[in-house]
Amino acid sequence: MAGSVSRRHAIRTGLAAIGAVAVAPLLPGTATAATRDGRSAPRTSRAVPVLPWPAANDIVAATRMPTFPSTTFDVTAAPFNANPNGTTDNTAAFARAISACNAAGGGHVIVPAGTYLTGAIYLKSNVDLHLETGATLRFSGDVTKFPTVLTRYEGIECMNHSPMIYAHGEHNIALTGSGVLDAAGTSPWNVGSERTFLESLVAKGVPPAQRVVPGSGHFMRSTFVEPYACDTVLIQGVSLHNSRFWQLHPTLCTNVTIDGVTTSATNSNTDGCDPESCDHVVINNCTLGAGDDNISIKSGRDADGRRINVPSQNIVIVSSRFTGPWGAIALGSEQTGGIQNVYAFGCVADHTRYVLYVKSNTQRGGFSRNINLDSITGRNQKGAWAFVTTTYNGQTGSNPPAFGGFTITNSTGDTSPFAFNVSGLAGDHVRGLTAKNLTFTNITNTDKLSNVDNVAFNNVTINGRTVTH
């Protein structure tokens, strides 16, 4: 699928009809470069340890990282003239700097220390938006600063207000540095969760370009950072605060690296990182807090997900820490296009409901297969260390999900109601659960395994007792 997503997706969604509405920059820029001589280039590399799966190492090696010329463009310098006083609107200044960087063949747009009030920022090809220490992007409560763009709302394509950081169809882009992105100010307009409105449009056959949310009388929140149908993406080092919805949402992208990023728990449904219908994704050394799932891999919802039919695949999650009320590593529930070839290694989940949370139903369908976890530490789970359900939210239809196999090795869990709670359907079994070298302590209930084939437990202890199932 790599290299074909954008073209294939454009054909299916009729993006030609959307044209400039979806992909135009917020403001055209004609400024020349403003360089900062003597400043070292921002870091755009990752340090991933050798993993216990050759296939996972191959994914990391094959996932391209962006590269940029050393030229820098300071947003506070003329002719861009961004003002970090926290009150001046800098939307146009960021657009001018990014356009100038792109027109010059690429480089780093530097954001020095200070607080920058801004509307949506559109990233262009070959541009690294780099936030220096002490820099804060404070996103605006002025809804007119967030134009209507193509997005995916809970797995359904539509036209909605732009995410805070957005790109469409771009390549070789990055958001890096040690600064902060703050979405608290968007709360006056960044509200609503009326997905049923979109579902009604899908049922009527309305194409995505005509599923326009602003002005419809319905309201749906915007994600925080969303590269859409982009290739070779890096998000590195930044911290996201006060999200109103999903925080990192690469969608229909290839070659995505998320490295050293921190997200925080704010409102409900503020997932930390949701790669959706993406191929070759590396999530490394992150601290992901959330008001919902920490990582939730997705691939579309119901009929609209079947229309696009692009899986999320070849995903590696390494050396990360998860805190949040639901799944540390979740798959679904919007997984209609399927999820496969997922590898997680050396991570810690603390006070989540589940470490592994796989969820779908016979309305959603999809598949989760070849899912592998190794050297994972789970502490204080409120539900189960591993929870797999084919009856999520009680919805039913004619599309049973295909689950399995799941392989969990060399991991530990302390304090949770269950180690494993895994359930298939009578006519749709989970096909494959392998557990090896696992130690669970302070587990209060006996495992639940229902309609699960090919179960293999080797050197698994629960509360000091070896279990073989």
**pLDDT attached to residue 379:** 97
Kindly report the CATH number assigned to the domain that includes residue 127.
Answer: 2.160.20.10
Dist CA 299 CA 277 (whole Å) = 4
Q: What is the DSSP string of 3-24?
A: TTHHHHHHHHHTHHHHTHHHH-
**pLDDT attached to residue 268:** 84
**pLDDT attached to residue 12:** 34
* Burial of residue 253, with CB atoms counted within 10 A of its CB: 0-12 exposed, 13-18 middle, 19 or more buried: buried
**pLDDT attached to residue 444:** 97
28: pLDDT strictly greater than 90: no
Provide the percentage of residues in the chain whose pLDDT is more than 70.
Answer: 91
Confidence class for position 42, pLDDT limits 50, 70, 90: confident
222: pLDDT strictly greater than 90: yes
* Domain that includes residue 453, residue range: 5-467
Stronger pLDDT, 229 or 1, i.e. the higher one? 229
Average pLDDT over residues 298-308: 98
Dist CA 4 CA 253 (whole Å) = 10
Q: Number of folded domains in the chain?
A: 1
31: pLDDT strictly greater than 90: no
Dist CA 299 CA 308 (whole Å) = 9
22: pLDDT strictly greater than 50: no
Average pLDDT over residues 43-48: 85
pLDDT, tens digit, 9 for 90 and up, residues 438-455: 999 999 999 999 999 999
Confidence class for position 41, pLDDT limits 50, 70, 90: low
Q: Is there a contact between 367 and 334 (Cβ–Cβ < 8 Å)?
A: no
How many angstroms separate the Cα of 161 from the Cα of each of 87, 92, 240?
22, 17, 19
pLDDT, tens digit, 9 for 90 and up, residues 63-112: 999 999 999 999 999 999 999 999 999 999 999 999 999 999 999 999 99
Using omega within 30 degrees of 0 as the cis cutoff, is the peptide bond preceding 42 cis? no
Which pTM was predicted?
Answer: 0.92
| Average pLDDT across the chain, whole number | 92
51: pLDDT strictly greater than 90: yes
23: pLDDT strictly greater than 50: no
pLDDT, tens digit, 9 for 90 and up, residues 382-435: 999 999 999 999 999 999 999 999 999 999 999 999 999 999 999 999 999 999
Q: Could you tell me the two tokens for 377?
A: 């530490």
**pLDDT attached to residue 266:** 86
Dist CA 459 CA 435 (whole Å) = 8
Average pLDDT over residues 188-209: 97
Closest CA to 161 of 182, 144, 175, 138: 144
Confidence class for position 305, pLDDT limits 50, 70, 90: very high
Q: What residues contact 100, with CB distance under 8 A and at least 6 apart?
A: 29, 30, 31, 32, 33, 34, 73, 80
264: pLDDT strictly greater than 70: yes
Q: Reading across the β-sheet that carries 165-168, which strands appear in turn?
A: 121-122, 165-168, 225-228
Q: Could you tell me the two tokens for 138?
A: 């404070």
Provide the percentage of residues in the chain whose pLDDT is more than 90.
Answer: 89
